[in-house]
Structure 1
Amino acid sequence: MNELNIRRRSVLLGAAAGAAGLALPQLALAADTYPERPITFICPWPAGGTADASMRAICQTAARVLKQPIAVENRAGAAGMIGAKAIASAKADGYTIGQIPISVTRFSQLGTLQADPRKDFTYLARTSGQTFGIAVQPGSRFKTLQEMVAHAKANPGKVTYAHAGVGGATHVGMEEFALAAGIQLNAIAYKGGAAALQDTLGGQVDMLADSSSWAPHVEAGKLRLLATWGEQRTPRFKDTPTLKELGFKVVVDAPNGIGAPAGLPPEVEKKLREALRVAVLSEEFKAVADRIDAPVMYLDGPDYRKYVGQVYEHETQLIERLKLKELLAKG
């Protein structure tokens, strides 16, 4: 290599090193000044619902911590998967975050979500769960869950229940319970919990499996609650036993969380995790969560990621045991 080439190579290397040196402070500066503009929060459910209300409460508190507005954008459809896909596909700069339903672990394996929850999201915080339960009409022959199980064992496939859609939490949770109880039920799928509730109130089905849509009707005496599905009894219905305490090793609380696209800059992720920690543990969010029977189940981002991985493995086994792919193929 002649002297001219050596000098030229040295200049090029020096320029490259200088550019790299400049890039690092710029990245640090971007993290230090984040957020510089409003943040978009994707809610994968319709406006006005319980999930929408809880996410808006979190966004209000987190916005105060971050000193920037957080605008909620509802992207409903496909059992929450349209919104989840939008989060996974967004630019990983911290200006698009959103609610990630835990059902991403199931629907990604069933083909409804074209994303891998194990690698396509940055997990920021687990927020709260849901209160699921089994409800019947006041005049139902089933006064207790044990009576229903006994009748179902004597009459396989005859007892009907309404749920909000094949593969959803209410369907999968109820079938997991049926497996544990050794019974065969007749599952009637609806396009959402509202329609399932109405047919239960109208006596078209024997039972309703749903999150707390039944709560005001139970309090009004229009439905009777046989069991809830959480780890512990819900304070609002403290006289109703859980599936677990009745001897069935089934716990379904479907906790949701908040995330962003994969590849979020570490310092931006840190700021968002801290803001969301404050928001989820705030009195404002607790008040909303209590009102909609959503137990606060906070986990920080790294622990939330581990939890999602565990649920993914559990869902893999459930999909196989319940033959969910075959059920979806049948429509």
Structure 2
Amino acid sequence: MRLHHTFAFTVSLLAGLCLSSATAQSTDYPTRTITMVVGYSAGGGTDVLARIVAEKLAASLGQAVVVENRPGVGAIVGSTYVAKAKPDGYTLLMGASGPMVFNHALYAKLPYGPQDFAPVTLVGISPMVLLVNANNPVKSVAELVAFSKQNPDKSNYGASSASFQLITELFNNKTGGRFMYIPYKGANDSVTAVMTGDVTMTLADVGPANVGLQSGRVKPLAVTSAERLKDFPNVPTLSELGIDLKASLWNGLLAPAGTPPAIVKRLQEEVARVIELPDVKKRISGMSVIPYTNTPEDFSKFIASEIVLWTQVAKDNHIKAN
């Protein structure tokens, strides 16, 4: 009996030591440089956002936060790197909806899955604007959809990636639109195609949309956000028009799965504080991104719901990665 008690005490002591050690590591965090991985090349939207957050996070945490670009294959390279990294809070991912959601809808197999990450918080969301040529006689989404039903052979849309294609196909599904897909290399190219009349419409994020709108050669009919955008106060949301579609591209911070909850919580709290700083809000808003944070639990649920939605859209429209 005494042996049993001794064994139980030893196991209990070891468990307590392990727990206190993990707690100490979480409490002391961080004690060295943190790497924030971006799955895209330097200079793009996700990269710029990461650098804004990293700069302020370094000052807040008292340790350097270095942005490391690992581009390749739709951000699969960078995402996989973080998924397989040590879960100690020193390797993070500035993720995007493309690799975190749309890739799961498009690829039959990926080297990472949602179970490989500990979501920390959303950082910013980028709704889209539905654009048509300024000379197009249609004045509303209803008129645009009616035109496509009457003239399916003359109705098409430009999309620069599978993300935009899936969102526009969901628009087709929700409205009965008959717009055919025309691929383009970038969102700016899709907007230009609307300007020149090569395509009937496009859904573009706010930055490229603004470029077209400032030229006066395109006009906005709706936005995909839950509420009207301050940049376009007179443009209705699709929801207002009775179309059940809310969609945005987004960026958010993620850690490898298994990262101690205390570290995830600390990072979430610090990022939330950083995003509220007036100069950070101004810089992010200047990128036509809406600053937005949430809890790790809500971010995790959001990613899961997005994967379900877009996987079904891809399946219904027979869309796969090329």
Q: Calculate the TM-score normalised by the size of structure 2.
A: 0.88
The residue number in structure 1 matching 2:133 is: 137
Are 1:121 and 2:125 an aligned pair? no
CA distance in 1, matches of 2:244, 2:95: 26
Deviates more, 1:20-29 or 1:240-249: 20-29
For residue 259 of structure 1, report the CA deviation from its aligned partner: 0.6
CA distance in 2, matches of 1:210, 1:77: 23
Deviates more, 1:13-22 or 1:303-312: 13-22
Are 1:67 and 2:62 an aligned pair? yes
Matched-pair contact (CA < 8 Å) for 1:126–1:299 = yes
CA distance in 2, matches of 1:311, 1:91: 26
Matched-pair contact (CA < 8 Å) for 2:125–2:290 = yes
Are 1:203 and 2:197 an aligned pair? yes
The one-letter amino acid of 1:138's match is A
Matched-pair contact (CA < 8 Å) for 2:145–2:178 = no
Distance 1:146 1:92, change over 3 A: same
Q: Identity over aligned residues, as a percent?
A: 26
CA distance in 1, matches of 2:258, 2:24: 18
Question: What secondary structure does 1:134 align onto?
Answer: strand
The residue number in structure 2 matching 1:172 is: 166
Given candidates 191, 194, 198, the residue that maps to 2:188 is 194
For residue 16 of structure 1, report the CA deviation from its aligned partner: 7.5
Larger Rg belongs to: 1
Matched-pair contact (CA < 8 Å) for 2:221–2:236 = yes
Question: What secondary structure does 1:230 align onto?
Answer: coil
The one-letter amino acid of 1:114's match is P
Given candidates 65, 90, 97, the residue that maps to 1:95 is 90
The residue number in structure 1 matching 2:211 is: 216
1:19-45 residue CA offsets vs partner (Å, 9 max, x unmatched): 666544433332222111111111223
The residue number in structure 2 matching 1:250 is: 245
Q: Calculate the TM-score normalised by the size of structure 1.
A: 0.86
Distance 1:250 1:11, change over 3 A: closer
CA distance in 1, matches of 2:17, 2:145: 69
The residue number in structure 2 matching 1:3 is: none
Across the two proteins, how many residue pairs are aligned to each other? 318
5+ residue gaps, structure 2: none
Given candidates 257, 262, 266, the residue that maps to 1:262 is 257
CA distance in 1, matches of 2:79, 2:274: 21
For residue 96 of structure 1, report the CA deviation from its aligned partner: 0.6
CA distance in 2, matches of 1:294, 1:64: 23
The one-letter amino acid of 1:188's match is I
The residue number in structure 1 matching 2:301 is: 306
CA distance in 1, matches of 2:78, 2:195: 31
The residue number in structure 1 matching 2:319 is: 324
CA distance in 2, matches of 1:285, 1:75: 24
1:93-140 residue CA offsets vs partner (Å, 9 max, x unmatched): 1111122223423312432642221x1100111122102112223223
CA distance in 2, matches of 1:68, 1:237: 39
Given candidates 39, 50, 54, the residue that maps to 1:55 is 50
The one-letter amino acid of 2:112's match is A
Matched-pair contact (CA < 8 Å) for 2:104–2:307 = no
For residue 321 of structure 1, report the CA deviation from its aligned partner: 2.0
5+ residue gaps, structure 1: 1-5
Deviates more, 1:88-97 or 1:189-198: 189-198
